[in-house]
Amino acid sequence: MSTLSVSLSRKELFLRACKGAALPRVPVWMMRQAGRYLPEYRALRAKHAFLEVCKTPDLAVEVSMQPFRRLDVDAIIVFSDILIPAEAMGLPLELGDAGPNLPEPVRSLDAVRKLRQFDPETETGFLMEAIRRIVRTAGTDVPVLGFAAAPWTLACYMVEGRTKEGFATVKNFLHSEPLAFRELLQRIAQATILYLKAQIAAGASAVQLFDTWCGELAMPDYRAFALPAVQEVISALRETVPVIYYTKASHHLLPAVAEAGAEVLSCDWRVNLAEFRETIGSKIALQGNLDPAVLFAPQEHIRQTTRGILEQLGGVGHILNLGHGILPGTPVENAQTFITTGQQFLFTETASGK
């Protein structure tokens, strides 16, 4: 192992990767790494409802720390949900294992204008307190990550009321009342800026924007609606901490996604990272992108597939992750194999033929 890899803390490793640096090994973590595949999480959830865990700092800290203790991941993402800001903006929220439900969806200009801006420390102070406690517990050498939904993805839930294939209602709103829909995105963007700035003030080393449903849009609509809103959020966070922008099923949008302004683009498993790097150049770091389903395969296949992803970028500006959240039922030992394979893959040794 190189002297550099020994001397770098996990936080330094992570932040250098965000800046596009060439590193002796890449940092590795997993989206949804605190979740149902872990027996200790299931044991805690047997006693506490999902929203209770999100809103109780002691519980949120415990769940956030579980994958760090069990798997030795290189970053800790705070346990929460992307719909927390929707509730803070005035929408009743139900969250359970069956999925989210917003029983009073936003489907008119009047409903948009009833949404309120909120003080993150007052309305969602439980999350900020959880971040502060995680930072104290993990120490200054470990990056703690905050997150939020990108405006388009949060709008999908706020308009549909729940996840629905095709998102016909939200697309109808977009096309039939474009000015009202843009106002909705702008209100979400402003709320998200304050929400993420509060997470950063609480100690987040980086933040991730989840645009899970942007792939539902054609390029013209993505450029006209989703992209300006996410650019507004990222621009407001510039000069604070790195912003990671995750998009799913967005292969057709990637040239525009690269214009969002994020320091790091997180790609799903459908994207070849080397080809994407050729397209966008070296100024933007990449995160990803093992198919979560691969973690059900034999361990040697997991190792081979993970190494193949690592070789695509050669350790330059790369954060190893899954291409989406880890799936319930994933064997813990297979998740461990993924993490360990990434951490033990040394590019200095590979380059020298060892």
The CATH number covering residue 277 comes to: 3.20.20.210
Record the pTM: 0.95
Spatial neighbors of 281 by CB under 8 A, at least 6 apart, are none
For 11, the domain range is 3-351
pLDDT tens by residue, 271-312:
999 999 999 999 999 999 999 999 999 999 999 999 999 999
- Catalogue the active-site residues: 32, 36, 45, 81, 157
pLDDT at 96: 72
Amino acid at 280: I
Q: Count Cβ atoms below 10 Å from residue 137 Cβ, excluding itself.
A: 15
Mean pLDDT of 177-181: 98
**In terms of C-beta density within 10 A (0-12 exposed, 13-18 middle, 19 or more buried), how is residue 281 classed?**
exposed
Confidence of residue 6 (pLDDT cuts 50, 70, 90): low
Two tokens, residue 15: 């932040």
Q: Count Cβ atoms below 10 Å from residue 215 Cβ, excluding itself.
A: 16
Tell me the C-alpha distance between 229 and 245, whole Å: 13
Tell me the C-alpha distance between 42 and 48, whole Å: 10
Extended strands (E) in 194-282: 206-211, 243-247, 264-267
Q: Count Cβ atoms below 10 Å from residue 220 Cβ, excluding itself.
A: 9
pLDDT at 351: 40
User: For residue 243, which phi and psi values (nearest 5 degrees)?
Assistant: -110, 125
pLDDT tens by residue, 332-347:
999 999 999 999 999 9
Cα of first residue to Cα of last residue in the chain, in angstroms, is: 11
pLDDT tens by residue, 313-337:
999 999 999 999 999 999 999 999 9
Tell me the C-alpha distance between 54 and 237, whole Å: 24
Mean pLDDT across the chain: 94
pLDDT at 7: 83
Amino acid at 105: P
pLDDT tens by residue, 184-241:
999 999 999 999 999 999 999 999 999 999 999 999 999 999 999 999 999 999 999 9
Mean pLDDT of 108-135: 97
Spatial neighbors of 251 by CB under 8 A, at least 6 apart, are 215, 270, 271
Q: Single out the residue of 334, 12, 305, 303 nearest to residue 143, CA to CA.
A: 12
Domain count for the chain: 1
Is 285 in a helix, a strand, or coil?
strand
